[in-house]
Amino acid sequence: MANDETVKAAGINTRLAHSGNDPHAYFGFVNPPVVHASTVLFADARSMADRNQKYTYGTRGTPTSDALAAAINELEGSAGTAIVPSGLAAVVLPLIAYLSAGDHALIVDSVYHPTRKFANTVLKRMGVEVEFYDPLIGAGISGLMKPNTKLVFTESPGSNTYEVQDIPAIAKAAHAGGAVVVMDNTWATPLYFKALEHGVDVTVHAATKYPAGHSDVLLGTVSANAACWPQLWATFDTLGICAGPDDAYQVLRGLRTMGVRLERHQQSALEIARWLETKAGVARVLHPALESHPGHALWKRDFSGSSGIFSVVLDGAGERQSHAFLDALKIFGLGYSWGGYESLAVPVNVRDRVVAKGPYGGAIIRLQIGLEDVPDLKADIERGLAAAAAAS
Ligand SMILES: Cc1ncc(COP(=O)(O)O)c(C=O)c1O
C-alpha cells in the first residue's frame, strides 16, 4: 500500500489512513507487526560478510520503524527519515550530523529552550560557534552568514511566542552561503507546513506531540532531502539511537487520526484565541492565525492550517497574577508538552533570549487546547482570568 500511486495522490486523511504499511506483506493484517529486535540472523557467512540483506541489526531499524519512516516520508516528501526516541533527540541529530569544530551555526532566538541549551553547552564544547538570530530577520540573515556557516536552524512559529519566520527567504540566503537549513516543524506538522517545499533541507518533528497525540509516548522524526539524507543516516547509524518498536508503532497508530484531531485542535484553539482577544485583563493573544498577529501575513502565505497551541499575555501581570490564573484552572492541567487530547497551561519565560525578548506587556501563559468541549475550556479560562484580576 505504501507505494500505491492511488494513495499518494489522495487527500490527506486518506494518505494518513493508508501510508506506511502494506497489509498484504503481513498476511493481510491491517497494522504492521511490532518487531522487537536486537539480533537479526543471516542466512550464511557470505551474506553476513557482505551484509547484503535488508535488516542487519536492531539499531539500524526494523519493519516497525520503517513503516513509520515510510509514512513520514510520504507526508514530508523526504528521501529518508530517522526515527529517534524523543523530539529533543530529533533536534540534536542534525546538529551533530552537519556541524564540526570550527563551524558557525545560526539558531533562531525563539527556539525551543532545550535546543538552545544543547547549542550553548554541547555544541560550544565541540568547538562550534553558536549565534542566535532574530526570528523576523528574513532575507537579512545573509548579513549574518560567514564563510564557515554550515547550518541555519529555524523553528516557525517560534516556541511560546509564535513568531513566524520567512522560511523561503532564509533558506535562499542560507543556501547561497552553502549552509544546510534545518527546521523544527513540530507546531504545524507536515500537514500544515510543507517544509521541504519551502526550501528546508532537514525537517524535525517532536512526534511526541500531534502524531502520538495521547501524552504517553516520546518520539522524534528527522526527515531529509536526497542531498542531506546520506550524512543524516550515517550519523544516526553511528549513534545507534533508533526508537523502540512499541513507541514507533504507537506513533504510526496516532498518525491515522492526526488529521481529524488537528482539525478539532485548530478549530477550538482559534475560537478560544479570538474570544480571549475580547476579554478584559488580556493584553495580547500570540497566535499566528489571528489577523492581529504580526506574522499573520507570512503565516497565511506559507501555512495551510494552525494547530492547538498559542499564548496569551495577561495585561500588566507579574508572577503573582500568573500563578493565580494557573492555580484557578480545573480542566487545564499544569504540565509540559502539548499535542495530546487534554488541555494544558504553562507559564512562559523568555529571559534566556538574546534578541526576541519583547516586551510583551505582561506575564505570558501558553495554552495547549485539547479535544474537550470549548464552552468548558472557556469557563475554565474565565476562572483563571477572574483569579488573576483578584490578585492584582
Ligand atoms: C518545538 C518543540 N520541539 C521539540 C520538542 C521536544 O520534544 P520531546 O518532548 O519529544 O523531547 C518540544 C517539546 O516540547 C517542542 O515543543
Indicate the average pLDDT of the chain. 96
Instruction: Name the one residue in this structure whose C-alpha cell is 524535525.
Output: 204
Residue 3: pLDDT band with limits 50, 70, 90: low
Tell me the best of 83, 84, 88, 336 to mutate to test the pocket of ligand 1, counting ligand atoms within 8 Å of each CB and taking the most.
88
Tell me the best of 86, 112, 182, 215 to mutate to test the pocket of ligand 1, counting ligand atoms within 8 Å of each CB and taking the most.
112
Amino acid at 174: A
With 70 as the cut, is the pLDDT of residue 2 above it?
Answer: no
Closest CA to 118 of 352, 347, 366, 334: 352
Residue 21: pLDDT band with limits 50, 70, 90: confident
CB 179 within 8 A of CB 152: yes
Task: Indicate the range of 14-28, 97-111, 120-134, 190-204 predicted with least confidence.
Answer: 14-28
Q: Kindly state the average pLDDT of the residues 67-77.
A: 96
pLDDT value of position 112: 98
Alpha carbon nearest to ligand 1 atom 10, residue: 87
pLDDT value of position 191: 97
The CA distance from 374 to 267, in Å, is 10
Alpha carbon nearest to ligand 1 atom 2, residue: 112
The strand pair at 104-108 and 149-155 is best described as parallel
CB 330 within 8 A of CB 374: no
Q: 383 to each of 267, 324, 330, 362, how far by Cα in Å?
A: 22, 10, 9, 18
What digits encode the pLDDT tens for the residues 31-52? 999 999 999 999 999 999 999 8
Cα within 13 Å of Cα(132), Cβ side: 20
pLDDT value of position 7: 83
With 90 as the cut, is the pLDDT of residue 121 above it?
Answer: yes
Q: Kindly state the average pLDDT of the residues 82-93.
A: 98
Task: Say how many Å lie between the CA of residue 337 and the centre of ligand 1.
Answer: 7
Provide the percentage of residues in the chain whose pLDDT is more than 90.
Answer: 94
Task: Say how many Å lie between the CA of residue 90 and the centre of ligand 1.
Answer: 9
The CA distance from 65 to 61, in Å, is 6
Q: 109 to each of 122, 204, 365, how far by Cα in Å?
A: 17, 17, 19
Q: Which atom of ligand 1 is nearest to the CA of 207?
A: 10
Residue 29: pLDDT band with limits 50, 70, 90: very high
Residue 9: pLDDT band with limits 50, 70, 90: confident
Task: Say how many Å lie between the CA of residue 218 and the centre of ligand 1.
Answer: 9
Tell me the best of 91, 186, 189, 204 to mutate to test the pocket of ligand 1, counting ligand atoms within 8 Å of each CB and taking the most.
186
Pocket of ligand 1 (CB under 6 A): 86-88, 91, 112, 159, 184, 186, 206, 208, 218, 220, 337
Q: Kindly state the average pLDDT of the residues 59-85.
A: 96
With 90 as the cut, is the pLDDT of residue 215 above it?
Answer: yes
Cα within 13 Å of Cα(210), Cβ side: 27
pLDDT value of position 1: 46
- 68-104 burial, b for 16+ CB within 10 Å, e for fewer? bbbbbbbbbebbbbbbbbbbbbbbbbbbbbbbeeebb
Instruction: Name the one residue in this structure whose C-alpha cell is 555544541.
Output: 123
Q: Kindly state the average pLDDT of the residues 276-291.
A: 98
Q: Which atom of ligand 1 is nearest to the CA of 187?
A: 1
What digits encode the pLDDT tens for the residues 325-359? 999 999 999 999 999 999 999 999 999 999 989 89
Q: Which atom of ligand 1 is nearest to the CA of 337?
A: 14
Count CB atoms within 10 A of the CB of residue 20. Answer: 23
The single-letter DSSP state of residue 98 is H
Contacts of 25 (CB under 8 A, 6+ apart): none
With 80 as the cut, is the pLDDT of residue 303 above it?
Answer: yes
Alpha carbon nearest to ligand 1 atom 13, residue: 337
